[in-house]
């Protein structure tokens, strides 16, 4: 790794640890793939809050709609093998839906969520565990309903778990085996990844991180049971850990032929449909395509009862980041975006001379909040770790003897002023008087009094 990437990931580690606590997420697991291997992997908080089980890098999460990327990969493998064509109608492979509206949808339309298909059916309380996820017969019954064709094909982007359930049936028919068996053998086992799988594995239940409810409707979180997603495994069944997830996505980088040709990967990653605003995220064939900062990235998110997960892949820089959270309101997307933005900040300019800057760094607190002084790209910054985008408005700092001078940042800050340090006998910061002239202490020595009064 380059020194700048090392600095960015070191601070990302500290920032994630802070935000797991600050945002009251039971547990956060994260990994970054860079170049040709895992560059960062860590876990924070708890896999099981009630039993105080610390979360590890090996714990498994339900990665939900990440499953769609595996399904799309399986489809393209079968296309490359000549068993499918993207313009085949679904009913050519799933004969139970011949002469139905959804049977006329093509494989390509299903992959792109362009089939105008109901998102989850008219009664989908399996998403809150009031019913079981549909089995094959129940899924076919939904697919046969005329009401499941909500819009004409290619009218607009319309996300559909039911459509991806249908793709799972297509994979089964073309592969001549079950969906779960095919993706396990042709994708997971081919990459040698033991921390991924297409569906809940009861034999490994003790390895799964518990999932938790949200704080939006209650003061306390409660655990949510893990369940089998049955015929919707191709839409939402997969489990995984962050290390193996970024390793899987590394096989979607250019020049890697373990799963697919570059031609197929380019087709999957091509942004086809706008999903909202004109300049907002788009969707390809089984992959979300968006911008983080100025860079176009692809990947997917996942939302399962109790787990929210996100992966971004920057093909140009050969970077992949996955963040897995075990709460139904987990901020996985912003936590994952932060990794790419910090790397951008660290590499945005020619590298500075980092020598001697480390003595100024740390996390400092006062009554008003917390400030991180951090080295990124060989330069010093003051960063607010509570911001969902830690690289949005960093304050640049330059050494001035034993102090730091503010040389950038918002005009509401302290441009031109000085962060004045005191150091202990070992040369570590004892205090810093910084923005607005306020005294801050290292966070591990800062204690808030029971009542704040004039001294």
**pLDDT tens column, 245-256:** 999 999 999 999
Residue 303's pLDDT is: 98
Report yes or no: 206 and 53 within 8 Å, Cβ to Cβ.
Answer: no
Look at residue 455 and tell me whether its pLDDT is greater than 80.
no
**pLDDT confidence of 45, banded at 50, 70, 90?**
very high
Look at residue 354 and tell me whether its pLDDT is greater than 80.
no
* pTM flag (> 0.95): yes
Residue 337's pLDDT is: 98
**pLDDT confidence of 414, banded at 50, 70, 90?**
confident
CB-based contacts of 214: which residues, under 8 Å, 6+ apart?
A: 221, 327, 328, 329
Residue tagged 């962060």 (tokens): 419
Supply 383's token pair. Answer: 């960063």
CB atoms within 10 A of CB 94: 21
Residue 86's pLDDT is: 98
Strand-pairing partners, residue 304, are: 307
Look at residue 132 and tell me whether its pLDDT is greater than 80.
yes
CB-based contacts of 7: which residues, under 8 Å, 6+ apart?
A: 346, 354, 374, 375, 376, 377, 378
Residue 123's pLDDT is: 95
Q: What is the pLDDT of residues 51-87, one digit of tens each?
A: 999 999 999 999 999 999 999 999 999 999 999 999 9
Closest of 404, 212, 207, 449 to residue 326, by C-alpha: 212
What percent of the chain is predicted at pLDDT more than 70?
100
Q: What is the pLDDT of residues 157-177, one digit of tens each?
A: 999 999 999 999 999 999 999
Q: What mean pLDDT value characterizes the chain?
A: 96
Residue 294's pLDDT is: 87
Please give the angle made by the CA atoms of 249, 85 and 118, to the nearest 5 degrees: 75
Q: What's the average model confidence in pLDDT over 287-292?
A: 97
Q: What is the rounded CA–CA span in Å between residue 72 and residue 285?
A: 7
Give me the residue spans of the domains in the chain.
358-442
Residue tagged 């409707």 (tokens): 217
Per DSSP, which regions of 97-242 are E strands? 196-197, 211-212, 223-224, 238-240
Backbone angles phi, psi at 180, to 5 degrees: -60, -40
Look at residue 233 and tell me whether its pLDDT is greater than 80.
yes
Look at residue 186 and tell me whether its pLDDT is greater than 90.
yes
Q: What is the pLDDT of residues 360-393, one digit of tens each?
A: 999 999 999 999 999 999 999 999 999 999 999 8
Look at residue 30 and tell me whether its pLDDT is greater than 80.
yes
- Which of the four CATH numbers 1.20.950, 3.40.50, 2.40.128, 1.10.260 does domain 358-442 have? 2.40.128
Backbone angles phi, psi at 211, to 5 degrees: -100, 150
**pLDDT confidence of 331, banded at 50, 70, 90?**
very high
């Amino acid at each position: 790794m380059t020194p700048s990437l090392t600095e960015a990931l070191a601070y990302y580690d500290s920032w994630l640890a802070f935000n797991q606590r600050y945002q009251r997420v039971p547990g956060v697991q994260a990994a970054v793939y860079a170049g040709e291997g895992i560059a960062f992997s860590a876990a924070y908080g708890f896999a099981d809050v009630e039993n105080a089980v610390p979360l590890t890098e090996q714990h498994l999460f339900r990665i939900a709609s990440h499953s769609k990327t595996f399904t799309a990969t399986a489809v393209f493998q079968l296309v490359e093998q000549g068993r499918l064509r993207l313009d085949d109608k679904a009913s050519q492979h799933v004969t139970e839906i011949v002469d139905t509206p959804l049977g006329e949808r093509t494989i390509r339309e299903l992959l792109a969520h362009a089939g105008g298909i109901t998102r989850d059916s008219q009664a989908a309380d399996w998403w809150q565990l009031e019913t079981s996820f549909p089995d094959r017969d129940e899924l076919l019954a939904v697919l046969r309903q005329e009401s499941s064709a909500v819009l004409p094909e290619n009218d607009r982007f319309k996300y559909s778990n039911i459509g991806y359930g249908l793709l799972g049936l297509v994979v089964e028919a073309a592969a001549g085996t079950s969906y779960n068996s095919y993706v396990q053998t042709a994708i997971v086992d081919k990459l040698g990844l033991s921390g991924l799988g297409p569906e809940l594995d009861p034999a490994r239940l003790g390895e799964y991180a518990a999932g938790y409810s949200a704080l939006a409707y209650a003061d306390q979180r409660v655990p949510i049971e893990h369940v089998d997603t049955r015929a919707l495994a191709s839409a939402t069944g997969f489990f995984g850990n962050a290390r193996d997830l970024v390793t899987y996505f590394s096989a979607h980088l250019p020049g890697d032929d373990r799963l697919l040709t570059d031609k197929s990967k380019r087709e999957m990653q091509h942004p086809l449909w706008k999903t909202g605003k004109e300049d907002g995220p788009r969707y390809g064939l089984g992959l979300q395509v968006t911008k983080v900062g100025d860079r176009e990235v692809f990947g997917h998110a996942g939302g399962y009862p109790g787990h929210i997960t996100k992966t971004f892949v920057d093909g140009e820089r050969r970077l992949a980041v996955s963040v897995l959270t075990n709460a139904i309101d987990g901020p996985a997307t912003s936590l994952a975006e932060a990794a790419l933005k910090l790397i951008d900040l660290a590499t945005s300019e020619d590298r500075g001379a980092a020598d001697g800057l480390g003595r100024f760094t740390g996390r400092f607190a006062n009554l008003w909040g917390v400030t991180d002084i951090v080295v990124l790209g060989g330069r010093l910054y003051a960063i607010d770790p509570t911001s969902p985008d830690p690289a949005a408005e960093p304050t640049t700092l330059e050494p001035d003897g034993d102090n730091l001078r503010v040389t950038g940042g918002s005009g509401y800050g302290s441009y031109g002023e000085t962060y004045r340090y005191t150091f202990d006998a070992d040369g570590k910061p004892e205090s810093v008087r910084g923005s607005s002239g306020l005294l801050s202490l290292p966070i591990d020595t800062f204690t808030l009094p029971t009542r704040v009064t004039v001294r």
